Structure 1
Amino acid sequence: MNGPTRGQRWFAAWREQLARAFGDTLARRIFLLLWVTLVAAQALAIGVVTWSRGEFAAARVPGAPSLPPLPGLMREPPHPSGPQGPQGPQGPQGLQDPRSEPPPEDPGHDVPLPGDLPMPSRDEFHGFPPPPSAQPQAQAPPWRGPFRALTGWELTLDYGIRLLVTGLAAWIASRWLARPMRDLVRASQALGQSLHKQEPLPLLDERRGTREVRESAQVFNAMARQLRRQFNERGLMVAAISHDLRTPLTRLRMRLETLDIEELQRQRSVEDIREMNALVDAVMELFRGDGPGAAEPLQDVDLGALAQALTDDLVEQAMPVSFEGGDAQVLAKGQPMALRRVLGNLIGNAVRYGGRAEVQVGRDAQGPWLRVTDAGPGIPPDQLEAVFEPFYRLEESRNRHTGGAGLGLYIARELTLRQRGSLVLSNRPEGGLTAELRLTA
C-alpha cells in the first residue's frame, strides 16, 4: 500500500501548524473564533458606514453651506387648474433658472420660481444666501449638522474599546461553552481514585447544559455506577475465593506438622503453602485496593530518610544493598507506607535478578526522584512495559523463588500512581536495569 502523497503530507503539516497556532484547548479555539468573528463584523460595519459617507459627500453641491431647516417651510399644494411648477418660499430667499432672466441687483427683492417649468437639476440653480435678518430662530439638532473628522487618538481609543469589549465577550462565551468539557475531564480523573478508595462517585449534573451535554452527563454517570458495581462485585468474589483457599491451606499445614516424613520434605511443603498464602494476600491487595497506603493521605515524605532506614534494615539481613544520597533533604508528596512497599519491591527485584541493589535519591528540574539500579542482564526493550502487567513473568519456569507471582511490579506501579507519581524501567548502557520513581514536590 502506497504511503501518503506529498500533497497529503503538506496538508497534514499545515493542519498541525494551524492547530498549534489556534491553541490545543477548546476554550482557546472558541475564544479565537468568536473574537475574529466579532472583529470582522465590526470591520464590515465600519466599512459600510465609511462607504456611505463617501457616497453622501460625493452627492452634495460643492461649496453649498448646510442650512438648518426653516420652520413652517412646506411646498404649496398643486394649483387646481393644472400642474404647476415647484413653488419656492415667499421670502427674501430664492433660486433662479439660468434660462430665465438674471437675478436683480438688489438682493432684497423676491425672486419666485416661475411655474409650468420642468424641474432643473440642482447643479443648474444659482442664488444667494438669505440676509442675517431672515435666519430662522429654531436651532437644528446636533445630528443634523456637518460631519466632524475624528483625531488619531480618538480613533485609537474608539477601536481599542471595541476590540476590548469584543474580546471580553468572546472570552466569557468560550469559558462558558467549554465548562462542561472541563467538568467531564475532572470527573474522569477523579473516577479512578474514587473506585480504589471507595469514595463517593464524581457524578455530573444531568440537568444543566444543552441536550448534548445532558446526554453526555447521563452516559458518564451510568458508566461510573456500572464500574462501581462491577468493582465491588469483583472484590467480593476475590475475598470469597481467598477465604475458601485459606482454610484448606491452614489444614494442610497443620497436617504436615503431624505427618511422619523427612524433615526436608516437610520444610519444602510448608514453604509451598507459605508461598500460596502470600499469593492469596497479593491477589487480595490487588483486587480489593486495601493494601498498604490505599487509604493513607498524601504528606511530605523525606525520601532520603525513608530509603536510608529501609536499606539499613536490609543490610542487617545480609542483603547486598547500598544507599547513596546527598546532604540536602529531598521532600516529596507521598504515602510513607506505600513508598516503603514500592521501594522494598524494587530492591527485592534488583537483588534477585541483578545480584545487588544501589539506591539513589535526588532532585532535578522535574522534581524529586528515587532510583534503584542493579548489575543484572536487564530486560529486553520490547518488554520494559509488559512487566508491569499483572501475572506477567519473564522467566519461562514457574519457580516462584526466582520468577515470583508476577504481581510485584504491577502493585508497585499502582501504588505509585495513587500518589500521583510515575515508575519507569530502563536498561543501563554499562549493563543492568534502572527503576526510576518520580513524585511531586
Structure 2
Amino acid sequence: MNWLKRCWRDTLFKRLFILLWVTLVGSHFLAFSLVMSQVGRPDVGHEGGPAREVPSAWSRLLIFPSLPPMGGRADGPPRPPEHVGPPSPPQVGRAERGLPGWLLALDYGVRMLIIALAAWLGAAWLSRPMRRLSAAAHGLGEALQRDAAPPKLDEDQGTVEVREAAQVFNQMAGQLQQQFKARGLLVAAISHDLRTPLTRMRLRLETLDHEPAAQRCVADIHEMDALIESVLQVFRGAHAGEAMVSVDVLALAQSLADDLVEQGHSLTVHGGPALACVQPTALRRVLGNLLGNALRYGERAELTVAVQGDRVLLRIDDQGPGIPEAQLEAVFQPFYRVESSRNRATGGSGLGLYIARDLTLRQGGELRLSNRPEGGLRAELSLRRA
C-alpha cells in the first residue's frame, strides 16, 4: 500500500507531467477537429480546382484501404487482367493535393495558441510557491532586524516538495529567532558584567586627583567603556527599530557641526536645504563617525550637502593622508584599521566605519570612500530623497 500512496501523492513532477501531457493532447485534438470539420464542407475545394462535395473526413478515417486483388489460385495460371486498353489517367484526390494553406495555418495557429496559453498558466501555477518562499525569506531578514516574529509558510498547501520546503523554512526561522534572542541575552550579560567593575574602578581612581598614573588609568577605563559600547551597538542593532521620517539633512549636519566647532574642531558646512527619508538618530551617528574620522586624521573637514535627482548626497572631505586604494573596502570590516596601533592619539577600535555603513544600508543609503586627487579622503553618503 505504500507504493500506492506514493503514486497518488501530489508532487511537482506529477503536476508538470500532467500539464504537458494534457496540453499536447488537447492542442492536437482541438486543431485536428477544427481542420477536419472544414474539410467535409462543400465550399472547400482543392487548391486551383473547383469546389466539390467531399465525404466527411471523420467517415473516411474508418475506411481502411482495400487489399490488392488476388491474382488467382496459387496452383493455377494467373488470371488475366479485367481491364485491357490504354491506362486511365491518375485520379488526383485530396490526399495527393494536400490541405489548403489557410487550413494548415489554422491547424498550427490553434496548436501554438493552446500550448502558449497552457505554458503561461503552468509557469504561474508552478512558480507561485517559489514567490511565496521568496517573500517569506525577505520578511525573515526584516523581522530579525526588528526583533519581530518571523513569517511562517503554510505547511499544508501545495505539492509534497512545497510542503517539505515550508516545514524546513519554518524550522530554520524559529531557530534563527532563538539564536538572535540568545545573542541579545548574551549582550546584556556582557554589558552588566564588564561595565559594573569598570565603573567601580573609575570611581575609585577619580578620588586620586593628584596622581598622574591614576588619571591615565581613568582615561584607559573611558576608552574601554567606549569600546564596549561600540561592540554592544553592533550586536544590539541599536537603531533597527527607529522610524523613517523626512529630515532636513542640512539642518541636522549643521547642528552636529556646531557642537564639534564648540569643542575646538575646524569644520565647515556648505549646501542648501535637502529633505531625505532617514532615521534621525542613526544618521546623526553615521555623520558623527565620519566627521570624527575626518577630524582625527585630517585635522579639519568640509561637509557639503547637495541634491541630485532622487538622492541626497553628503560629501565629507578632509586633508589627511587618505587610505591605500587596496584597503578602501577593507576598512568597512569590523575591527579593521589601517594603522596597526590602537593608541589614543589616533583613537578608535575599527568599528566606526563598519557601524556607519551598516546604519546607512538600513536606511536604504550607500556609503563610499575615495581618495581625492588633491590629497585627503572623501566619504560620500547617498540617501533617499523625501
Give the TM-score normalised by the residue count of structure 2: 0.70
Code of the residue aligned with 1:315 in structure 2: it is V
Q: CA deviation at 1:214?
A: 2.5
**Which residue among 246, 255, 271 is the counterpart of 2:219?**
271
Match of 2:279 in 1: 335
Is 1:245 the counterpart of 2:194? The answer is yes
Q: Secondary structure at the match of 2:378?
A: strand
Match of 2:326 in 1: 382
Q: CA deviation at 1:335?
A: 0.5
Q: CA deviation at 1:403?
A: 3.9
Q: Secondary structure at the match of 1:287?
A: helix
Q: Higher RCO, 1 or 2 (CA under 8 Å, sep at least 6)? A: 2
Q: Secondary structure at the match of 2:307?
A: strand
Match of 1:194 in 2: 143
Partners of 1:295 and 1:167 lie apart in 2 by: 47
Match of 2:69 in 1: none
Is 1:304 the counterpart of 2:250? The answer is yes
Alpha carbons 1:358, 1:374 under 8 Å: kept? yes
User: Where do residues 58-137 of structure 1 align in structure 2 (5 Å cutoff)?
Assistant: 65-66=52-53
Counterparts in 2 of 1:67 and 1:335: CA distance versus 1, 3 Å: closer
Alpha carbons 1:332, 1:368 under 8 Å: kept? yes
Q: Paired residues, what number?
A: 320
Code of the residue aligned with 2:244 in structure 1: it is L
Code of the residue aligned with 2:253 in structure 1: it is A
Alpha carbons 1:193, 1:418 under 8 Å: kept? no
Runs of 4+ in 1 over 3 A off after TM superposition: 56-60, 62-65, 148-152, 158-173
Alpha carbons 2:39, 2:54 under 8 Å: kept? no
Q: Secondary structure at the match of 2:222?
A: helix
Counterparts in 2 of 1:365 and 1:59: CA distance versus 1, 3 Å: closer
The superposition leaves residues 22-64 of structure 1 with CA deviations (integer Å, 9 ceiling, x where unpaired) of xxxxxxxx9xxx9xx98xx67x958x959x969x99999x879
Partners of 2:180 and 2:51 lie apart in 1 by: 89
User: Where do residues 203-218 of structure 1 align in structure 2 (5 Å cutoff)?
Assistant: 203-218=152-167
Match of 1:346 in 2: 290
User: Where do residues 276-291 of structure 1 align in structure 2 (5 Å cutoff)?
Assistant: 276-289=224-237, 291=238
Alpha carbons 2:331, 2:337 under 8 Å: kept? yes
Q: Secondary structure at the match of 1:425?
A: strand
Code of the residue aligned with 1:287 in structure 2: it is F
Counterparts in 2 of 1:193 and 1:401: CA distance versus 1, 3 Å: farther
The superposition leaves residues 211-234 of structure 1 with CA deviations (integer Å, 9 ceiling, x where unpaired) of 232232222222222222222212
Partners of 1:178 and 1:313 lie apart in 2 by: 55
Give the TM-score normalised by the residue count of structure 1: 0.62
Match of 2:6 in 1: none
Q: Secondary structure at the match of 1:439?
A: strand
Q: CA deviation at 1:255?
A: 1.8
Alpha carbons 1:187, 1:202 under 8 Å: kept? yes
**Structure with the greater alpha carbon radius of gyration:** 1
Match of 2:95 in 1: none
Counterparts in 2 of 1:380 and 1:274: CA distance versus 1, 3 Å: same
**Which residue among 408, 415, 419 is the counterpart of 2:352?**
408
The superposition leaves residues 98-134 of structure 1 with CA deviations (integer Å, 9 ceiling, x where unpaired) of xxxxxxxxxxxxxxxxxxxx899xx98xxxxxxxxxx
Is 1:315 the counterpart of 2:261? The answer is yes
- Give the CA RMSD over aligned residues: 4.0
Is 1:185 the counterpart of 2:111? The answer is no
Alpha carbons 2:31, 2:111 under 8 Å: kept? no
> Identity rate of aligned residues, in percent?
57
Partners of 2:214 and 2:277 lie apart in 1 by: 46
The superposition leaves residues 361-388 of structure 1 with CA deviations (integer Å, 9 ceiling, x where unpaired) of 2222462222212121111222222211
Code of the residue aligned with 1:284 in structure 2: it is L
Alpha carbons 2:205, 2:215 under 8 Å: kept? no
Counterparts in 2 of 1:168 and 1:254: CA distance versus 1, 3 Å: same
